[in-house]
Structure 1
Amino acid sequence: MADNATNTIRATFETREAADLAVEHLVQQHGIARPDIFIQSASDENTTGTESSRGDVKRADAPHEGEIEVSVDIAADQLQAVQRSFGDAGAIRVSGR
């Protein structure tokens, strides 16, 4: 019998571009509804990541004050696949509970 307990998994990314790619992986590869995925600053600062990506290179007002966090609640049997997807998208840290 599969364990379908809900787990929250979080991953941090250096750029908004990488976080957006992770969201696309969750939606397209794992069938997770976009409203169930959360993107936010990993700190208390407003940020677009620790590094520029193509979308914010030319913006003077794009703050680089910290990492971006993506979090989602998933069934336990999805945990390893989602961890791999986060890694493939460029996560620098992945944690689950």
Structure 2
Amino acid sequence: MTDESTITIRVRFRTREAADLAVEHLVQQVGISRPDIFIQSASDQNTNGTSSSRGDVNRLDAPHEGEIEVSADIAASQIPAVQQSFGNAGAIHVTGK
């Protein structure tokens, strides 16, 4: 019997680029619906991550005030695939509820 209870998994990334890549992996490789995935600052500060990525390297106004959080509402049976996908994208911290 497959466990289809829904959980929310939260992951932190150092760059917005890594967070965006993780979202694309979840949608394209794992089959998570895009409306079930959320991206936000992991703190109360406006941030583009803790370090620059290629897309923001020349922007002097890109704030680097903290990590980027990606959260997704997933079926419990998807946990292994989602964790692997997040790991491949460079996740630095994972929590689930």
Return the TM-score normalized by structure 2. Answer: 0.98
Matched with 1:79 is: 79
- Over aligned residues, Cα RMSD in angstroms? 0.6
Matched with 2:12 is: 12
Alignment partner of 1:95 is 2:95: yes
Q: Distance in 1 between matches of 2:91 and 2:40?
A: 14
The 3-state SS of whatever aligns with 2:21 is helix
Matched with 2:39 is: 39
Q: Distance in 1 between matches of 2:27 and 2:71?
A: 13
CA offsets 1:63-84 (integer angstroms, 9 cap, x no match): 0000000000000000111011
CA offsets 1:48-97 (integer angstroms, 9 cap, x no match): 00000000001111000000000000000001110111011000011111
**Runs of 4+ residues over 2 Å off in structure 1:** none
Aligned residues: 97
Which ranges in structure 1 are unaligned for 5 or more consecutive residues? none
Alignment partner of 1:22 is 2:17: no
Q: Distance in 1 between matches of 2:27 and 2:40?
A: 17
Alignment partner of 1:51 is 2:51: yes
Which ranges in structure 2 are unaligned for 5 or more consecutive residues? none
Q: Distance in 1 between matches of 2:35 and 2:6?
A: 16
The 3-state SS of whatever aligns with 2:85 is helix
